């Protein structure tokens, strides 16, 4: 651009500023001032036209001509022609803008012509020139609303967005376009309050508040908003980040502090967890959640603080006498302190967990309202070190058949009970208890059957023991818990397997509520499918029959293995006929199980449930508290287990194929494994 052109631009800009000042001057509506303003605009128009004769595409001259005509009531067609040419010849590198007034004028023209896209473009530009302008914001809201109505993906949809919801949503977008993130977050929150299912608004709110906290990192209100968003989207890592920041800023509520302490507890950071709970209790000494978690931290402390734990549980029971967690915790402490009568008294109040091998802090199921002597023996579960050995003569007199006579174990597999060292009880089931322990300096899991000192026990546990040992000995795969050996001398009947330090998947997800990354979730799901595919790929196929998250256990790196083979059977025929009624856990049972026919497809149904849980979903039929309710949903309403919507792309169709009610049409385990692996959600299983 030549020097003379630069001079002309400077003259135009000076004339334009003078005219704008004359129009904006207080009292400019008076005749004398109005005339001065009009003369100033006429001077701008004359100078602009002179420039356009030399340079017809000059953006500044086009803008000045349009602005002058608009201010003096000129021809609307000319105004629009000049303004649109200015936009067309706009050069972003020079920082040239059309300005609020002309953008608002063009937007109104497009709106009258029902051109939603054009109106949206110019109202947004007007807001950029004059942030927060209500006229432009409302205009943009109208344009966006019109745009949304005309661009609906399903025009036949009967239910339409309420106008106020849409306006709030659009205003939120308007604020985003003008980088007013805090105001946008407020408007989008109001939109979601009126229409909670608006997923687009939810995602926009998340993006908006994340940008806002980057701009204003010390704003407590913004971090609290972001925490609510993460909670609704079940983003556990995001929740942890928000909670940590709120605690740093001193803006964490008691519930947030308890939640953070619970996370620290799950990480094994007991002292730091107790600091959080103590901080809550100093302000609110009767906070039941903090008292309960504080007691649990003492219970988990390896230093032996059962008295402190028991005191905490008893404080909770004074506040809430029916609190199941406090009842269970108090009963546990009394059991450890050998106060068995008190433990038994407390125990019936606790909601039962399903039977099965528990490797990570599960609870014992006590369904009856009264406690029998047999149940007392189960609850007592004496420490293995103190269990007396019984002479062979006494074994025969008791009527218990030594399992060695039915099972053919190698010398290496037969374990002398005196070589086992036990530690804490990890959990109990219907027939026995599981302990962490050592065998020849190797850390192992010891599953001991409940048995009287005389060796007496019912035939059913012995049958389960025989089945599980037979299954474990004959099945070798990285995704199955490895068999170490067995002790078969009553009353010390036990199975010894490899120890999985991270416990059961059920405990991890539903009790410890440990947050897992997407890749870890996918790895666990893949490895479960790999193990089931191995079982079903044998000749003949092997059916586990009791797959559930309680029977999936995890090692140090959260690699998954299948355990508890007490119900496992080989399919010598095309299907098994269930006669004993012992065919798995109701929540995970496929519909055909209730007809007495079992194929390997019952494992596929249960495997679908476990995949849902692995990716952060609920237990199957978690809204049902009784078996009758589950049966009604499954067999009468034909409702499969719930599949959440937050699953990674591609996972949902795979799970749906696991829940086909016609088992002949249900997918197979190998197909599920192959399809999950092709999604590349996790590294290849090792």
Please indicate whether residue 673 or residue 251 has the higher confidence score (pLDDT). 673
Q: Among 226-240, 401-415, 563-577, 645-659, which stretch is predicted with the lowest mean pLDDT?
A: 563-577
Helix (H) or strand (E) holding 444: strand 442-449
Give the integer Cα–Cα distance in Å for 328 and 308: 15
Residues 121 and 137 in one domain: yes
Give the integer Cα–Cα distance in Å for 296 and 310: 9
Is 378 within the bounds of a domain?
A: no
Q: How confident is the model at residue 613 (pLDDT cuts 50, 70, 90)?
A: very high
DSSP tag of 305: -
Tokens (6 digits) for 605: 């149904």
Residues 480 and 594 in one domain: no
pLDDT of res. 33: 57
| pLDDT, tens only, 95-114 | 567 788 888 888 888 888 88
pLDDT > 80? residue 384: no
pLDDT > 90? residue 602: yes
Question: 568, 472 in Cβ contact below 8 A?
Answer: no
Helix residue ranges, H only, 151-197:
163-177, 181-194
| pLDDT, tens only, 645-679 | 889 999 999 999 999 999 999 999 999 999 999 99
Residues 490 and 629 in one domain: no
pLDDT of res. 5: 61
pLDDT > 80? residue 635: yes
Residues 34 and 182 in one domain: yes
Chain-wide mean pLDDT for the chain? 74
Q: Which of 232, 267, 293 is the last residue of a domain?
A: 232
Q: Which of 232, 256, 274 is the last residue of a domain?
A: 232
Q: What is the pTM of this model?
A: 0.44
pLDDT > 60? residue 61: yes
Q: Domain count for the chain, please give it.
A: 4
Domain harbouring 628, CATH code: 1.10.510.10
Residues 448 and 358 in one domain: no
pLDDT > 50? residue 143: yes
Is 374 within the bounds of a domain?
A: no
Q: How confident is the model at residue 161 (pLDDT cuts 50, 70, 90)?
A: very low
3-state secondary structure of 648: coil
User: Would you tell me the crossing angle of helices 288-300 and 306-319 to the nearest 10 degrees?
Assistant: 160
Residues 592 and 478 in one domain: no
Q: Among 20-24, 110-114, 172-176, 452-456, which stretch is predicted with the lowest mean pLDDT?
A: 452-456
Residues 34 and 174 in one domain: yes
71 phi/psi in degrees, rounded to 5:
-80, -20
Mean pLDDT of 533-561: 91
Residues 421 and 437 in one domain: yes
Cα torsion at 32, 37, 43, 49 (round to 10°)? -140
- Which residues lie across from 428 on neighbouring strands? 433
pLDDT of res. 393: 34
Give the integer Cα–Cα distance in Å for 51 and 66: 13
pLDDT of res. 303: 72
Residues 345 and 437 in one domain: no
pLDDT of res. 601: 95
Domain harbouring 315, CATH code: 1.25.40.10
pLDDT of res. 299: 81
Tokens (6 digits) for 113: 């012509």
Q: Which of 457, 480, 498 is the last residue of a domain?
A: 498
Enclosing domain of residue 194:
3-151+161-232
Residues 248 and 298 in one domain: yes
């Amino acid at each position: 651009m030549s020097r003379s052109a630069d001079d002309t631009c400077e003259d135009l800009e000076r004339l334009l500023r003078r005219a704008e000042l004359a129009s904006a001057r207080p009292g400019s509506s008076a005749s004398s001032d109005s005339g001065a303003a009009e003369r100033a605009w006429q001077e701008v128009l004359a100078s602009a036209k002179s420039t356009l004769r030399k340079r017809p595409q000059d953006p500044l001259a086009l803008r000045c001509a349009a602005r002058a005509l608009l201010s003096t009531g000129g021809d609307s067609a000319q105004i629009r022609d000049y303004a649109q040419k200015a936009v067309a010849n706009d050069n972003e590198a020079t920082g040239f803008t059309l300005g609020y007034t002309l953008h608002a004028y063009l937007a109104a023209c497009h709106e009258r012509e029902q051109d939603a896209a054009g109106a949206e473009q110019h109202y947004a530009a007007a807001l950029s020139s004059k942030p927060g302008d209500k006229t432009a914001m409302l205009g943009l809201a109208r344009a966006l609303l019109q745009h949304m109505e005309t661009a609906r993906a399903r025009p036949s949809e009967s239910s339409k967005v309420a106008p106020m919801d849409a306006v709030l949503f659009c205003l939120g977008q308007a604020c985003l376009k003008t980088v007013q993130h805090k105001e946008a977050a407020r408007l989008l929150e109001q939109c979601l309050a009126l229409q909670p299912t608006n997923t687009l608004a939810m995602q926009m709110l998340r993006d908006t508040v994340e940008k806002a906290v980057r701009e204003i990192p010390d704003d407590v209100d913004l971090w609290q908003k972001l925490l609510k968003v993460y909670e609704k989207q079940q983003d556990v890592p995001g929740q942890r980040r928000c909670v940590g920041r709120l605690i740093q800023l001193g803006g964490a509520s008691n519930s947030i502090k308890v939640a953070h302490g619970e996370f620290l507890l799950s990480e094994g950071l007991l002292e730091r967890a107790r600091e959080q709970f103590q901080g809550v209790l100093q302000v609110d000494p009767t906070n039941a959640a903090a008292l309960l978690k504080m007691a649990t931290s003492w219970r988990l402390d390896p230093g032996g603080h059962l008295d402190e734990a028991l005191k905490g549980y008893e404080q909770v029971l004074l506040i809430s006498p029916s609190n199941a967690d406090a009842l269970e915790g108090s009963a546990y402490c009394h059991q450890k302190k050998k106060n068995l009568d008190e433990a038994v008294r407390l125990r019936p109040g606790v909601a039962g967990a399903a039977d099965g091998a528990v490797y990570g802090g599960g609870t014992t199921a006590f369904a009856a309202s009264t406690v029998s002597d047999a149940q007392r023996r189960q609850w007592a579960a004496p420490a293995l070190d103190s269990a007396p050995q019984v002479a062979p003569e006494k074994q025969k007199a008791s009527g218990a058949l030594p399992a060695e006579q039915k099972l053919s174990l190698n010398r290496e597999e037969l374990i002398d009970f005196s070589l086992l060292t036990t530690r804490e009880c990890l959990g109990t089931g219907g027939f026995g208890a599981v302990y962490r322990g050592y065998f020849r300096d190797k850390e192992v899991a010891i599953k001991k059957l409940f048995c009287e000192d005389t060796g007496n026990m019912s035939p059913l546990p012995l049958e389960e023991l025989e089945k599980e040992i037979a299954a474990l000995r004959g099945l070798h795969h990285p995704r199955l818990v490895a068999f170490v050996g067995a002790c078969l001398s009553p009353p010390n009947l036990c199975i010894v397997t490899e120890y999985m330090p991270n416990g059961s998947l059920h405990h991890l997800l539903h009790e410890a509520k440990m947050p897992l990354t997407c890749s870890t979730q996918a790895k666990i799901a893949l490895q479960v499918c790999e193990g089931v595919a191995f079982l079903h790929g044998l000749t003949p196929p092997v059916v586990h029959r009791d797959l559930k998250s309680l029977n999936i256990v995890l090692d140090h790196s959260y690699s998954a293995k299948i355990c508890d083979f007490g119900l496992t059977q080989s399919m010598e025929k095309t299907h098994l006929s269930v006669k004993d009624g012992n065919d798995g856990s109701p929540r995970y049972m496929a519909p055909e199980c209730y007809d007495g026919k079992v194929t390997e497809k019952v494992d596929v149904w249960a495997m679908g449930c476990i995949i849902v849980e692995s990716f952060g979903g609920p237990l199957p039929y978690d809204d049902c508290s009784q078996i009758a309710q589950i049966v009604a949903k499954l067999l009468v309403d034909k409702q499969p287990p719930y599949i959440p919507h937050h699953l990674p792309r591609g996972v949902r169709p795979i799970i749906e194929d696991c829940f086909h009610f016609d088992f002949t049409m249900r997918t197979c385990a190998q197909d599920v494994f192959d399809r999950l692996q092709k999604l590349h959600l996790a590294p290849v299983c090792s």
